[in-house]
């Protein structure tokens, strides 16, 4: 098809929109071309402007979203089919349906943009930016939320816009990226605004919202690399215990962290002598050890992080569960019957839980998927000085999920001004600084221990104080300005 027809026909524009969505995944880890994000959403903005009706705006947004999510979260199929045991003929449509649901958010933004498209360039740019950011924000909580591939995640360090993270959070960054994108239609306007925001972001990076307190603690983050297909098999249980015991023995530290469900049985099923060994190993450095396991009360069981060592035993239980992976939504029991996902009916832990008092620090634990919800992590702040994430992303195989998840953790550290310690089963085990920059990481799919020293941080960033409210206020302001009637011209 000639190039002019691709641009001038609706079908051609839908094809370009889908291709643009695919390219947009390169803005995020592992490719990490943060500078590409304004160009991708510029292309989306241009395509919406060329749409001739709200229906075409809707289809343009849908095409963009399908290209974006089918590429960016393709690991959903891996999780369902390869490790969830679901037959391909069901896993394929299920993954496609999931990505289609995610594509409804840019679809809605496209429709609303054309339905109420302003007739002035400045108001048009503000309206577009607000819709893109608002769609990401709604996606972060509707149907329990799936904030993956939120536009703002593309702007983690070294992007200069990362300086806005402690102020506006990830959704505020989405707003800024979309605003720059729309203004670039008129490059004489867009380039100076982009440069001004980049300089402001760089300046904000020099602000010390939080400060280190006390002496640094030595940490050892254990990556067991236990294959997912072996994790819950009884015959592999004692091999797993020996593996973690040996890695802990060889790598003493004040704070040792094992991955999510590192010991994949209920805590009262762990041999007492093994727990005593863990306590003794943790106490060598007058420290503590946090490990993932299962806890239960009556008919309820929890995905938990448990600490042992010098401090009294403490438990954090996961609050934000993964639909289908950790709980079965009403009406979907038939769907889960085709999968073999162990422990898929967890109970939610309390919404508010105190930080773990370990190794002389207050550590805010979160488990796997929970660190994608920034407003939920700040519940433990400012008391906690360190964030710790225990994950098992073996479910997603060799896919984009692991580097994307690490990038999300970097955003959480930048928003809160706290270091993030990540202990994962197969990757990516990492230490992230309080500014969101990656300090060190283990290669994925390898057994190893990441050692380092980390300081706790005190203080409160604006995001910790206000959550998403500052970003939402800006979105609302952009929407109002975008929809406001233009002032009459002087005669």
Name the residues annotated as catalytic.
260, 318, 368
Instruction: Count Cβ atoms below 10 Å from residue 318 Cβ, excluding itself.
Output: 25
Give the three-class secondary structure for 387.
strand
Cα separation, 397 vs 393, whole angstroms? 7
Task: Give the contacts of 447 (CB within 8 A, at least 6 positions apart).
Answer: 223, 224, 225, 243, 247
Instruction: Count Cβ atoms below 10 Å from residue 88 Cβ, excluding itself.
Output: 11
φ/ψ of 274, rounded to 5, equals: -70, -45
- Collect contacts of 399-403 with beta carbons under 8 A, ≥24 apart: 399/74, 399/75, 399/78, 400/25, 400/28, 400/29, 400/30, 400/72, 400/73, 400/74, 400/75, 401/73, 401/75, 402/426, 402/427, 402/428, 402/444, 403/29, 403/30, 403/428
Instruction: Count Cβ atoms below 10 Å from residue 350 Cβ, excluding itself.
Output: 10
Cα separation, 17 vs 86, whole angstroms? 31
Residue 241 near residue 263, CB atoms below 8 Å = yes
Cα separation, 489 vs 382, whole angstroms? 51
Burial category of 311 from C-beta neighbours within 10 Å (exposed 0-12, middle 13-18, buried 19 and up): middle
Residue 289 near residue 248, CB atoms below 8 Å = yes
Cα separation, 257 vs 457, whole angstroms? 19
> Among 128, 150, 119, which residue's Cα sits nearest to residue 61?
128
> Among 223, 388, 355, 357, which residue's Cα sits nearest to residue 288?
357
Burial 251-280 (b: 16+ CB within 10 A, else e): bebbbbbbbbbbbbbebeebeeeebebbee
Cα 316 to the center of its chain, rounded Å: 20
Cα separation, 236 vs 302, whole angstroms? 22
Q: What sign for the dihedral angle of Cα 223, 228, 229, 232?
A: positive
Q: Strand pairing of 438-441 and 430-432? A: antiparallel
φ/ψ of 408, rounded to 5, equals: -60, -40
CA torsion angle 383 388 389 390 (round to 10): -120
Which residue matches tokens 């369902």? 80
């Amino acid at each position: 098809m000639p190039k002019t027809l691709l641009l001038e026909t609706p079908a051609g524009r839908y094809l370009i929109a889908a291709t643009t969505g695919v390219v947009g995944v390169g803005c995020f880890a592992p490719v990490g071309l943060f500078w590409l994000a304004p160009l991708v959403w510029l292309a989306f903005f241009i395509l919406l402007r060329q749409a001739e009706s709200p229906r075409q705006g809707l289809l343009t947004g849908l095409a963009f979203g399908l290209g974006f999510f089918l590429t960016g979260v393709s690991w959903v199929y891996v999780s369902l089919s390869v490790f969830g045991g679901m037959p391909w003929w069901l896993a394929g449509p299920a993954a496609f349906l999931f990505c289609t649901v995610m594509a409804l958010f840019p679809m809605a933004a496209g429709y609303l943009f054309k339905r109420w498209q302003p007739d002035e360039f400045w108001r048009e740019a503000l309206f577009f930016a607000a819709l893109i950011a608002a769609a990401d924000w709604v996606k972060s909580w509707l149907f329990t939320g799936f904030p993956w591939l939120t536009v703002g995640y593309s702007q983690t360090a070294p992007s200069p816009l990362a300086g806005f993270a402690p102020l506006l959070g990830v959704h505020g960054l989405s707003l800024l990226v979309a605003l720059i994108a729309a203004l670039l239609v008129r490059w004489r306007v867009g380039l100076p605004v982009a440069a001004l925001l980049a300089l402001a972001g760089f300046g904000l990076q020099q602000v010390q919202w939080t400060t280190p307190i006390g002496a640094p603690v030595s940490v050892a983050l254990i990556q067991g690399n236990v294959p997912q297909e072996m994790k819950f098999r009884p015959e592999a249980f004692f091999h797993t215990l020996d593996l973690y015991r040996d890695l802990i023995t060889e790598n003493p530290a004040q704070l040792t962290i094992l991955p999510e469900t590192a010991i994949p049985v209920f805590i009262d099923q762990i041999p007492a002598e093994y727990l005593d060994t863990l306590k003794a190993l943790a106490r060598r450095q007058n420290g503590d050890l946090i490990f993932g396991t299962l806890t239960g009360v009556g008919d309820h069981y929890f995905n938990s992080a448990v600490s042992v060592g010098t401090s009294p035993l403490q438990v954090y239980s996961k609050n934000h569960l993964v639909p289908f992976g950790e709980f079965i939504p009403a009406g979907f029991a038939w769907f889960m019957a085709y999968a073999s996902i162990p422990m898929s009916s967890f109970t939610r832990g309390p919404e508010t839980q105190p930080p773990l008092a370990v190794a002389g620090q207050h550590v805010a634990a979160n488990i796997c998927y929970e660190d994608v919800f920034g407003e939920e992590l700040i519940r433990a702040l400012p008391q906690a000085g360190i964030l710790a994430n225990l994950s098992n992303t073996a479910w997603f195989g060799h896919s984009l999920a692991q580097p994307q998840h690490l990038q999300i953790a970097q955003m959480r550290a930048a928003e809160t001004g706290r270091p993030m310690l990540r202990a994962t089963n197969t990757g990516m085990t990492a230490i992230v600084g309080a500014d969101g920059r990656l300090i060190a990481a283990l290669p994925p799919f390898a057994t190893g221990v990441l050692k380092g020293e980390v300081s706790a941080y005190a203080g409160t960033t604006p995001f910790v104080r206000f959550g998403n409210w500052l970003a939402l206020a800006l979105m609302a302001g952009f929407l109002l300005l975008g929809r406001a009637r233009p002032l009459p011209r002087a005669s």
